A and B are shown apart, each in its own frame.
Chain A
Amino acid sequence: MKNIKVLGTGCANCKTTMKLIQSVADEKGIGINLEKIEEIQDIMSYGVISTPGVVVDGKVVHAGGVPGRDKIAGWL
């Protein structure tokens, strides 16, 4: 099971990103462990400076803006 974290301070784009990842995972029938990181210190510890950022299994794969569906499918 993939561990996916969305980094963001709670803006609209971060929520959209969460929903989008969940919907792509549901569509493909892949179980994921989705988590939201809102604490600024924790976000910074990943070295991400433009949110929303996405971390898959501890590795930053995306930063700044809502990722596309294709890109999300690629991570899963």
Chain B
Amino acid sequence: MNYSIKNQAYTFIFIAAMLWFGLYQTLEPLSHFLVSALPLEPGGHAYDALQFFLYDTPKVLLLLTGVVMVMGMVNSYFTAERTRALLAGRHEGVGNIMAALLGIVTPFCSCSAVPLFIGFVQAGVPLGVTFSFLISAPMVNEIALTLLFALFGWKIAALYLVLGLTIAIVSGYIIGRLKMEAHLEDWVRNMAHVQATVGADELTLPDRIQAGFASVREIVGKVWPYVLAGIAIGAGIHGYVPVNYMAGLMGKEAWWSVPVSVLIGVPLYSNAAGIIPIVEALLAKGASLGTVLAFMMSVIALSLPEMVILRKVLKPRLIATFIGIVSVGIMLVGYVFNAVV
């Protein structure tokens, strides 16, 4: 009985994956077919722009759905409680690397940053390791990576992944070295130590598939308008010659563009999907990639609402150190990108 349900689940995953790949393969010919059916001159601006839009929209949405589905299932293995148990008592160094990596796969919402923070510290996760997790979790996430991959290619997505993890690991390590435990609010330090335990995981494979569907409904249902807006902006300039009026302001030559972008980005708050249309528009207007990515990272990783909540557990000096170190890290990333790409 149990065995056959499990088999059904595997069969379902297999068929869904085949369907997904089949659909993905037909997108490009289909978009050509659709556009050629319209009374437009092949090779013209409108033709190119429309073909780009008709190809990119389903492509990005399909990729996003696939990735969110898989990550929804993966997330069901990595609950916050389990991640905490994995990190409790780890030493700095290895602990920071593990925390940053776990930040990718552990489901995280900025609204649970504080309970999570306290829960980690209380269970004996070192402060610096906790910060590595707290920096990586919102910044390096599957939505940002998928959208970067779909719109700008795998190299940019991979660079974002590696540099985002590096910022999380190094910043957390430095905060740990600074020994700032005294700058936690007193009531946090006075809390009783708890043992990090994990409840028995009785989820079955069908449950995890359910969890995958739930996150598709929740995430794709929420972000698709932003994705659409981003692609429309991209398509709008695709057939046309880009105007370079941002080049002077946010181009490679302007050295101050990276710090200014981070300065603007920190108080702003948006999720990865919401920022993509802006990224697309800035790049189209000649802003350089490093500057735009630094802007994107600072918007996602550091936000005013999160700092206001974190203030309840951290004293001002620790918050300032946290913002300072992460901002500097993001700026370095911006300069590295501008120099390499």
Contacts and interface: CB of A to CB of B under 8 A. Distances in A.
A76 interface: no
B312 A63 contact: no
Interface in B186-221: 187, 191, 194, 210, 214, 218
Interface in A1-56: 8-14, 40-41, 43-44, 47-51
Contact of A40 (B118, B120, B210, B214): B118
A26 B86 CA distance: 41
Interface in A50-73: 50-51, 63-66, 68
Contacts of A49: 80-81, 84, 112, 115-116, 118-120
Contact of B116 (A10, A41, A50): A50
B341 interface: no
Given A44-B118, A47-B194, A11 B80 contact: no
Interface string B308-329: 0100110000000000000000
Interface in B72-87: 79-81, 84
Contacts of A65: 107
A66 B84 contact: no
Contacts of A68: 210, 214
**Binding site secondary structure of chain B:** helix
A11 B84 contact: no
B278 interface: no
Which of the four size classes fits the interface of chain B?
20 to 34
B197 to A, nearest CB: 9
B174 interface: no
A47 B81 CA distance: 10
A37 to B, nearest CB: 11
Nearest to B119: A49
A48 B111 contact: no
Interface residues of A, number: 21
Given A64-B80, A65-B107, A51 B112 contact: yes
B214 A50 contact: no
A66 B119 CA distance: 20
Contacts of A66: 218
Contacts of A48: 115, 119
Interface centre among A9, A13, A64, A66 (most CB of B within 10 A): A64
Contacts of A12: 111
A10 B81 contact: no
B109 A13 contact: yes
B219 to A, nearest CB: 11
B111 A9 contact: yes
A40 B116 contact: no
A66 B221 CA distance: 15
Contacts of B119: 44, 47-49
Given A49-B116, A50-B81, A63-B81, A14 B111 contact: yes
Interface in B98-116: 107, 109-112, 114-116
Nearest to A49: B119
Nearest to A51: B112
Contacts of B80: 49-50, 63-64
Interface of B: 79-81, 84, 107, 109-112, 114-116, 118-120, 122, 187, 191, 194, 210, 214, 218, 309, 312-313
Interface of A: 8-14, 40-41, 43-44, 47-51, 63-66, 68
Q: Which 5 A-B pairs have the closest CB atoms?
A: A11-B111, A49-B119, A50-B80, A51-B112, A50-B112
